[in-house]
Structure 1
Amino acid sequence: MGLLVATTGMAQKSIKIVGGTAPAGTERRAAIIIANQDYQQDMMDLKKVYNDADDMKEALDKLGFEIFELRRDLDRRSLDRLLAGLPQRLKGYQVALFYYSGHGAEYQGDNYLLPTDMPPLEYRSDVATYGLSLKRVYQAFADGGIRTSIVISDACRNLPLGRSTGLPTGLTLPANNPAGTFTMFATRSGNLSLENVKGRNGYFTQELLKNIVQPNWTLDKIFYETRKGVKAATGNQQDPSMANELDDQFVFVLKPEDRPLSTPVLNPTTSQVAESTPSRPTTTTNWSSKYLDLPFADLEYVPGGTFQMGDTRGEGDSNERPVHTVTVSSFLMGKYEVTQRQWEAVMGSNPSEHKECPDCPVENVSWEDVKVFLQKLNARASGSLHYRLPTEAEWEYAAGGGAIAKRSRFGNGEDILNPAGANFYGITADKKAYSVAGEYRGKTVRVGSFSPNGLGLHDLSGNVWEWCADWYGPYTQEAQTDPSGPSSGWTRVLRGGSWYFNSAYCRVAHRNPDIPSLRNNYVGFRLVAQSR
């Protein structure tokens, strides 16, 4: 097993693990595990809960967590006393994980863990009367000084109900989860967590156990892979949900690589791409970095490779051809589009039309405006990284998933674009063979609202068009390495489509030239980084 690391803690003594000692700065980790399987009302009994809890304990032990509690079949008084004593016990820890398997439900927007001594449920309000609010867990972590709180609930089983009908199932994601928390629920509000008749664990915990041990996977990545596995195992009948209110990334296992990466370096005076071979940044998690100390400022590592650039599916415009072979070097790319909050931190103003959402992408910015932003950002940046726009080749390479055999049609890793998974003009009249009609939002949405592609990058199709560094020019058939476009021109390149454009414009291969002074409420950008 590799070293264990998280990004938000203060320096503490090393944690002894198999294969080495985690360096100073690794957080102290605490875990609380509750398994409610044997209820006083026999009709509420469950089958796999003890297994879920035992296997989570074994996994978390190996991941450097101190197991404060592994408790089975807690009644209301026992649950209450456990949570009341947690804040004092958590002093000196930076990371705490709460795992619950058993019955749970929501009532009037609040979530409740159901103790084993619950009487028969007759009315919807019984959930709040006899259950324990999940807010108690968040509050206990906050009172204990925890900086990174992870709450996982494999609950929402089928509940018998007496006189009333329509007992709420599926825990709901509150509108305002506490800052510094990451929450995973086994299913969405209004749905059930299904029993896995043949397996040892419930479907959600079964998939989660596979993913938390993966080296260099962030909590976002772990959730998305768990969700994908649960949906596949249940035929899309169970769909987990998540709320991320962390300002920084957290990984359970960090496994560093030995060899250096090759990073494309943009010479600011010539705008040509040169080659260097710096080491990976040593202060980052999952080989990511932050370009500002603000939410959604993460950069993800994109390993270099070779791909076929252009309209490989024969469905695009003439400027997407001829298809040609391109090799790109490794680089760091913004996990999200640059937000209004980030723009304002650098520029001191917000040009966006949709100002009601500071974590939505900044828009109404021209290519020339972005150039000024980059100058100011690089002037204030400390460390070894220099920030710039992606080249058109880097953008298409990352949007399609990198150097993989089957590259996706859209930047979210999918071949069919659905308004449930991207922000675009998905009305019925503009439906394509490769899209699904659905909600048209009519404006930008908060970055990261939808699942990322396989490289961990969000919103590469839809939300806002994204400026690239290149002057626009026609493709040629020649194979190229790290192309940076023509040396001059009249128009720059925009990629990815937006909330105002249909799915045809959101394809990975689609190219859109426009004048560098263009400003519109559907045009923004994202960053890449290189070694200085």
Structure 2
Amino acid sequence: MRAGPLLAAILALAPVACAPAPPKACQANLATPDPTHPRAGMVRIAGGQFQMGAAGVRPEEGPAHPVTVGPFWIDRTEVTNQDYARFVAATGYRTLAERPLDPRLYPGLPPAQMRPSSLVFVGAKPGVDRGDPSAWWRVIPGADWRHPSGPGSHIKGRDTLPVVHVGYEDALAYAHWLGRDLPTEAEWEYAARGGLDGAAYVWGQQKQPGGKPLANTWQGVFPSVDAGADGYKAQAAPAGCFKPNGYGLYDMAGNVWEWTRDLFAPNAQPTESALGASPGGPPQHLIKGGSFLCSDDYCFRYRPAAREVGPPDSGASHIGFRTVVRE
């Protein structure tokens, strides 16, 4: 999300430290994206009926209701930096974060806030007011998928990390290059559940069976202290570092949020209507899965039923995506 009206409270531009040393890649049978092989790196989901949504955690997640999805294929992992780089090399595509804001959508915005930029998590000191997200987010000019922490940062050695700072439009462009699409919310949630209909987590009912984190989330007091019990402190993990779900899909909980086709609605009844339109601005699409910033004491949205609105005009340092092919 860039410096538009929706970020009026997060416009303080500040330098940010370069990203930490790249973590070691994991083994998840990563496939090279290729338009001539539209199902490379994907898993087939037979489809069926399931209980979508949940009740009792967040109001926007309910009511739980039966939904039927048809058969489809979905990426085994989140789209990685090396995947997106191949797409950009083949097409010359420039992401939203690499372009200035459209002045027609943001009349009267100062030129300094129209520059190419993206939203970067910078952390905060203990005791920060958690009602003020500007304490741990900054709109950083020059932050984009190649420079995830802003100017001076890079993705060298981070080929297998999920690509971030991609907006809905950027994710859809990549999907179309491969002859694919982005999943609907129902498809995404059905795939994430891995056959465990109604379970609280993608791996079952217990939060930490065996006492160990099963996803890259935030362990500690957000946004100040991440204990890193999952092996990654306040950063994304390479694709495939955690045990896959029942369908063989990796990182359907935590790591980075993922774009879906649906516009955000205030309940678990997905829609492509104007409910997801921000007044005077671009439509607001739904993201699923939570991220490495999801803590139990603040976000708690790394559950399959959880849902959130994505930034309408760019990406952020904790949002990525995966693609689908429908039969």
- Residues 464 and 419 (structure 1), Cα distance of their counterparts in 2 relative to 1, 3 Å cut: farther
For 1:62-211, list aligned pairs within 5 A: none
- Correspondence for 2:163 among 357, 362, 366: 362
| DSSP 3-state at the match of 1:505 | coil
Matched with 1:447 is 239
Offset of 1:291 from its aligned partner? Answer: 4.9
* Corresponding position: 1:518 with 2:314: yes
For 1:461-472, list aligned pairs within 5 A: 461-472=253-264
Higher strand content, 1 or 2: 1
| DSSP 3-state at the match of 1:388 | coil
* 8 A Cα contact 1:497 1:506, kept in partner: yes
For 1:273-284, list aligned pairs within 5 A: none
- Residues 485 and 245 (structure 1), Cα distance of their counterparts in 2 relative to 1, 3 Å cut: closer
Q: Which amino acid aligns with 1:364?
A: H
Matched with 1:485 is 271
- Residues 460 and 408 (structure 1), Cα distance of their counterparts in 2 relative to 1, 3 Å cut: same
- Residues 298 and 413 (structure 1), Cα distance of their counterparts in 2 relative to 1, 3 Å cut: farther
- Residues 341 and 292 (structure 1), Cα distance of their counterparts in 2 relative to 1, 3 Å cut: farther
Matched with 2:74 is 333
* Corresponding position: 1:396 with 2:182: no
Matched with 1:217 is none
Structure 1 unaligned blocks of 5 or more? 1-174, 177-242, 249-288, 379-385, 431-435, 478-483
Q: Which amino acid aligns with 1:333?
A: I
Offset of 1:341 from its aligned partner? Answer: 0.2
| DSSP 3-state at the match of 2:301 | helix
TM-score (norm 2): 0.61
Q: State the Cα deviation string for residues 476-499 of structure 1 (Å, max 9, x = none).
A: 78xxxxxx6233332110111111
How high is the sequence identity, in percent, across the aligned residues? 32
* 8 A Cα contact 2:215 2:230, kept in partner: no
Matched with 2:63 is 322
- Correspondence for 2:41 among 274, 282, 298: 298
Matched with 2:151 is none
| DSSP 3-state at the match of 2:51 | strand
Offset of 1:293 from its aligned partner? Answer: 8.7
Bigger Cα Rg: 1
Q: State the Cα deviation string for residues 270-318 of structure 1 (Å, max 9, x = none).
A: xxxxxxxxxxxxxxxxxxx965699x95110111111111115x2x111
Matched with 2:325 is 529
Matched with 1:422 is 215
| DSSP 3-state at the match of 2:83 | helix
TM-score (norm 1): 0.39
Across the two proteins, how many residue pairs are aligned to each other? 226
Matched with 2:304 is 508
Q: Which amino acid aligns with 1:340?
A: N
Offset of 1:421 from its aligned partner? Answer: 2.3
Q: State the Cα deviation string for residues 427-457 of structure 1 (Å, max 9, x = none).
A: 2x36xxxxx9665522111101111000000
Higher helix content, 1 or 2: 1
Structure 2 unaligned blocks of 5 or more? 1-23, 95-144, 149-153, 223-227, 278-283
Q: Which amino acid aligns with 1:425?
A: W
Q: Which amino acid aligns with 1:393?
A: A
Q: State the Cα deviation string for residues 54-79 of structure 1 (Å, max 9, x = none).
A: xxxxxxxxxxxxxxxxxxxxxxxxxx
Offset of 1:518 from its aligned partner? Answer: 3.2
Superposition CA RMSD, Å:
3.1
Matched with 1:351 is 146
* 8 A Cα contact 2:54 2:305, kept in partner: yes
Q: Per chain length, whose mean CA-contact separation is higher, i.e. which structure has more relative contact order (CA < 8 Å, sep 6+)? A: 2
